Amino acid sequence: MPAHTAPAPAHTTPELDPRADIVELTAAFVDIESVSGNERALADAVEQALRAHAPHLEVIRDGDTVIARTHRVLDQRVVLAGHLDTVPVADNLPSARRTREGREELVGRGTCDMKGGVAVLLKLAVEADAAPMDLTWIFYDHEEVAAADNSLTRIAAEHPEYLAGDFAILGEPTSAGVEGGCKGTMKLAVTTRGIAAHSARDWVGDNAVHKLAPVLERLAAYEARRAVIDGLEFREALNAVGISGGIAGNVIPDRARIDVNYRFAPDTTIEQAEAHVREVLAGLDVDIEVFDAAAGALPGLDTAPARAFLEALGQDVRVDAKQGWTDVSRFAALGTPAVNFGPGDPLLAHTDDEHVPIEDLHASLAALRRFLTSTAG
């Protein structure tokens, strides 16, 4: 069994050399398999690399999360964070390099989401011993699973000081552009009731599945809002993501359900989001129940540290809204403006053909390095 498919015993912790070329370092990250729940070997390697190569950092190990920070008592503290885990491997490890349509790529699970990003962070954590701001580096576990299991949930509860800062950068894939804030997400169960009956005598029953028709009609006809905040466009989305109903092939269903996912702009609270969905479905004979919700995060690009970040990156760097929900919203909830910035096309995350352009790795590293060596801070 190759080393990357099993947690390595302690005495053979795979090594990460943060002084290596960014492509080699990313490949080393990728080749230490770390599907959610199996992050230990990679966390060990990150911890070992920091302890060995970054004497300017306090290194804290908390479960399979590694936190490293400076204590230089500067005016500002910037948090740079990335998750170590990936979604399950799809026969796409170890990593491989390829050239396609003239573009060099590193291919494999995690290359895009988000080992390219954490490789950049590790390299800079070791390198940036004289940045114009204090720095907190967070390499965390269990991001690709339920929010309750995400280690940032535990850390925010037990050690909120680890997450404290004036600005946060999440290394999530953004094709080396800046993606500000994130949309909120809400899941609702929309249920209809009827009366069961034999399907040969439907006139004594009442078909709950047929009552879904107007719900689907409204969802299909829905025109989602495009909210422009700090110059970024957040496109909302309201969708049926699941539908179910039926008792047996000869029975009129007495209950049916649509699971609706509403992705809402970060200027909208959870309460407003729920009220909006109820308004969209107003007048229909349905029960509506929210079973999951997470607020979005405003981009906060007009704050001082964010402006300094954008300035250091330069005008060539694309600035967009982040459409998917990410952990930036945890920082927003703590009052810390946060952006996503990392190598890799977010649309490739979780796909079987997950890959990262080599150029993205270099561009992300160079841009963040400019920020950390800028005089702004």
Nearer to its own copies (CB atom), residue 264 or residue 341: 264
Question: What is the helix (H) or strand (E) element at residue 239, kind and residue range?
Answer: strand 237-245
Largest separation between any pair of C-alpha atoms in the chain: 79
The two tokens of residue 298 are 């405003």
Binder to its own copies among 88, 246, 314, 335 (CB under 8 A)?
246
Catalytic residue among 31, 113, 134, 143: 143
322-338 b/e with 16+ CB inside 10 Å = b?
bbebbbbbbbbeeebbb
Stretch that binds its own copies, among 72-80, 92-100, 181-189, 310-318 (CB under 8 A): 181-189
Query: What DSSP line would sit under 292-319, residue for residue?
Result: EEE--B---TTSHHHHHHHHHH-TTS-E
Nearest Cα to Cα of residue 65 among 169, 168, 118, 138: 138
Nearer to its own copies (CB atom), residue 40 or residue 355: 355
> Could you give the C-alpha distances from 152 to 145, 174, 321, 331, in angstroms and in order?
12, 21, 23, 10
The two tokens of residue 295 are 């607020």
Catalytic residue among 85, 141, 179, 274: 85
Q: Active-site residue 85, yes or no?
A: yes
Q: Active-site residue 21, yes or no?
A: no
Residue 318 binds its own copies, judged by CB under 8 A: no
Residue 99 binds its own copies, judged by CB under 8 A: no
Q: Residue 260 corresponds to which amino acid? A: V
Residue 273 binds its own copies, judged by CB under 8 A: no
Stretch that binds its own copies, among 60-68, 77-85, 148-156, 197-205 (CB under 8 A): 197-205
Stretch that binds its own copies, among 131-139, 147-155, 211-219, 330-338 (CB under 8 A): 211-219
Chain positions contacting its own copies, by CB under 8 A: 183, 185, 187, 198-204, 207, 209-213, 216-217, 219-220, 224, 235, 237, 239-253, 256, 258-259, 261, 263, 292, 323-325, 347
Catalytic residue IDs: 85, 143
